[in-house]
Structure 1
Amino acid sequence: MKKMTGYYPWMVVALLCVVGCLNYLDRMMITTMRSSILEAIPMTDAQFGLLTSVFLWIYGLLSPLAGFLADRFSRSKVIIVSLFVWSAVTWLTSHATTFEELLLTRALMGISEACYIPAALALIVDYHKGNTRSLATGIHMGGIMLGQSLGFIGGWMAEEHSWNFAFSIFGIIGICYSVVLLFTLRDAKPAAEGHGAAAQPAASFSAAMANLFRSRAYFMALLFWSLLGVAGWMVVAWLPTYYKEHFSISQSMAGVYATGYFHTASLAGVLLGGFLADYWSRTNPRGRILVPMLGLLIAAPAIFMASGTGSLYVAVVCFMIYALTRSFSDANMMPILCLITDARYRATGYGVLNMFSAIVGGIGIYAGGALRDVQINLGSVFRVAALILLVCAVVLFIIRNIKTTEK
């Protein structure tokens, strides 16, 4: 066992990268097969938006409790059970025949997936601290971006076979991988994080909430992550439709541009953002805050330009720049929490952030569909997202000026 201590922290990251990939692939591929689903199950654009919104609302509402479970009990077991259940629900989705059944499976997926991200990121920072923390979380987020970039597979499989074929395949893959994790994934020992969550389990959910909300910095982090969720989900959920309709291209090609190109740039962004933050934090503890702030100041004008151009090439490049620099925030959100929260409540704190981000993000997605129903174009929706990103950068600047201590 001693021989494993050197590389096992990175093995944990690698194992969880696969889970993160499946997590986002399962939830996102529905956005790339809109036309195929509507042919089989007629619904309005608002109803189609609701499929993702309901997932996000339920996912968000349960995230604080899910995070507390990871702080209070075994992080690895929470991860394994979550993967097994949401994979079973993914397989069940392939058998839906009505809008109501599809909506129900999306709700069930929201319940099961809520437990994963807080537990995974908390487990990673249990094993990684100091100069590897942002890069380790960034690599894991890279697995998530890979899952998003592969989302076009859903649209391709829908055109080649049927809309439910992909859900059946990836549901079975996830169930099998949960068995692999049962024999390979374990919690960090207390020594891996001298005063961290592994050493001192969270006392109670109410104590965790009280501890978190006593912090002004945490309030600002909550505002930041919520606004970022609005902008991020508005873009991700409707980008395939924007490409297809604005540039008159096929569903498959729209899916490639909106997931393959976009999330490949996001993958590069979380790796670059993690590396830069770790490097900068060696000389400036607030480097983990400054890197995402600068990234957003680049992302906002990029998405504004992408929303108004008539050139497919310019739009693809600008959306990729947005994806690259906006992802600096994804690599550093948990490390930022490590600066401003008690180590015992990291997963709970991230769960609360997820709750607000998912709820307001879901509202943004549904609003986008409702606006389309009244003939308001998606370019206008994306320009609002650009403005929100600038506000997020200001909030990070405020957090930067609040006294923080690495924990």
Structure 2
Amino acid sequence: MSQSTKKFNWEFIVLLWFAFFFNQADRQVFNIALPAVRDDLGLNDVQLGLIASAFILAIGVFVPIAGYVGDRFSKKTVILLSLLIWSSATFFTGFSGGFLILIILRSIVGGSEAFYAPAANALIGEKFKSNLGHAMAIHQTALYAGIIGSGIIGGYLTEHYGWRMVFYIFGGIGIVLFILMFLRLEDGVARSKEQKVTLLDGIKNLAANRTAVLLTSAFTCMVFVNVGYLTWTSTFLHEKFDLGLTEAGFSSMFYHHAFAFVGVMVAGKLSDRLAGKNAGGRLKIQAWALLLGAPFIFLMGLGTDLPVVYVGLSIFGLFRGMYDSNIYASLFSVVDEKIRASVASAMIMCSYIIGSLAPVVLAYFKVGFGLTNGLASLSLFYVLGSVLIFIALKFTFKKDRNVALEIMKNRDEFEK
């Protein structure tokens, strides 16, 4: 069902919204429970950083396979199996008794979650045409809601019922959601047997597309910042300002992601309008968002008063949301629609493999220079990401955009 001719398919986007909610909540809830897990199991900060890094690394390792599977097989099936596996692994994380089993289970969660985004975003790209930015923005808000929810609910449950209960509840709800989506979620367009998709298609097509390479490099900068922020900000507030786990979990996630919600919705609508007039409009929004967000990351890390830190978190979140609204829409503007899941997965692979270093790098930084300085230094990555997108706009975007449009036009004419 193409949204260029049909009304907005709310049931479809809401089902994916809840799946993405738990994709992010199950990812982030471990970071909220870090101090309790550390104290209960006798782990140190470097071990906790390694567990978080293993999780992100698993996403990076498995996502190329996810992209191939998303382009080759039923996207609905890929999404459902991903949801079931990560929810089950989250549930069993509550039974963990030490460092090794935590690394194994969190790696399973990360590896299975890797299959969700390429298939889901490509499926949204099939279902929505003229209002793709709006649909992507609505879906993206689940990321913020999931992280805020994990901060509030996860922090409360950890303080009152222990960290293990958090994983039982979050994992169990995900399994129930799997059943609902099995019954109600629409699938995408069936792939013809003649269409050949190989495991390396995403990597090869990404490497051959200069704009996609630059967008991936900028995305890597954002992911490195995001992974470091998500892993350590709750602990930062807990230790620097002596906040309880519930308040630290809430504050570290709420202000940032509430403003990101606003940013993604505003930029999603705005980008659809700009893209109708100028194809590079989506990239311009992303580049300016990263550049303007950088000073507030610095403020977040070095702020000495909580209100100042919260202002930094909030405005950092606003601009982060504006960037997020067009992560995939910008990439898809220069990529053939038949290989979008594969190319998106290649982008995620590169970004998450490098981003997986952030938790352990900040853990060592925490020991040697202090977590305050470590978080503030993340602002440099936002500046670099902005520069890379501006380079794409100036030198490569127009040509790569025209190439992608020509490929799709020729294929459509051939199929007719």
TM-score by length of 1: 0.93
Change in 2 beyond 3 A, CA 1:355/1:281: same
1:388 aligned to 2:413?
no
Displacement of 1:65 in angstroms is 1.1
Moved more, 107-116 or 301-310: 301-310
* SS of match in other structure, 2:278: coil
Question: Deviation at 1:46?
Answer: 0.8
Partner of 1:141: 140
Unaligned runs of 5+ in 1: 191-196
Q: 1:216 to 1:312 in 2, by over 3 A?
A: same
Aligned-partner Cα distance in 2 for 1:350–1:2: 21
Q: How far apart in 2 are the matches of 1:46 and 1:177?
A: 34
Q: Relative to structure 2, which stretch is displaced further, 336-345 or 260-269?
A: 260-269
% identical equivalent positions: 28
Q: Paired residue for 1:364, among 354, 358, 365?
A: 358
Q: CA offset at residue 384 of structure 1?
A: 1.9
Query: Any gaps of 5 or more consecutive residues in structure 2?
Result: 406-416
State the match for 2:346 in structure 1: 352
Q: Which amino acid in the other structure matches residue 258 of structure 2?
A: T
Residue-by-residue CA offset, 1:170-207 (whole Å, 9 max, x unaligned): 111111111111111122347xxxxxx79985522234
CA contact (8 A) 2:155 2:245 kept: yes
What's 2:410 paired with? Answer: none
The corresponding residue for 2:22 is 22
Contact kept in structure 1, 2:89 and 2:171, CA below 8 Å: yes
Q: Which residue of 1 aligns with 2:412?
A: none
Deviation at residue 275 of structure 1 after TM alignment:
1.4
Superposition TM-score, scaled by structure 2 size: 0.91
Q: Deviations over 1:60-111 (max 9, x none)?
A: 1111110110011111110011101111111111111111111111011112
SS of equivalent residue, structure 2 residue 326: helix
Partner Cα distance (1:198, 1:301) in 2? 49
Q: Specify the code of the residue in structure 1 equivalent to 2:137.
A: G
- Partner residue, 2:71: 71
Partner of 2:51: 51
Instruction: Indicate if the aligned counterparts of 2:74 and 2:188 stay in contact, CA closer than 8 A.
Output: no
Matches within 5 A, 1:3-402: 6-7=6-7, 9-130=9-130, 132-152=131-151, 153-189=153-189, 201-374=195-368, 376-401=369-394, 402=396
User: Could you say what secondary structure the match of 1:186 adopts?
Assistant: coil
Cα contact 1:273–1:292 (8 A) shared by 2: no
Aligned equivalents of 2:211, 2:308: Cα separation in 1: 38
Q: Is the 8 A contact 1:56 1:110 kept in 2?
A: yes
For 1:193, the equivalent position in structure 2 comes to none
For 1:347, give the aligned amino acid. A
Q: Following the alignment from structure 2 to structure 1, what is the Cα–Cα distance between the partners of residues 73 and 203? A: 17
Relative to structure 1, the CA distance from residue 339 to residue 202 in structure 2 (aligned partners, 3 Å threshold; closer, same or farther) is farther
Q: CA deviation at 1:260?
A: 2.1
**Matches of 1:352 and 1:218 in 2, distance apart?**
10
Q: 1:217 to 1:200 in 2, by over 3 A?
A: farther
Is the Cα contact below 8 Å between 1:72 and 1:203 reproduced in 2?
Answer: yes
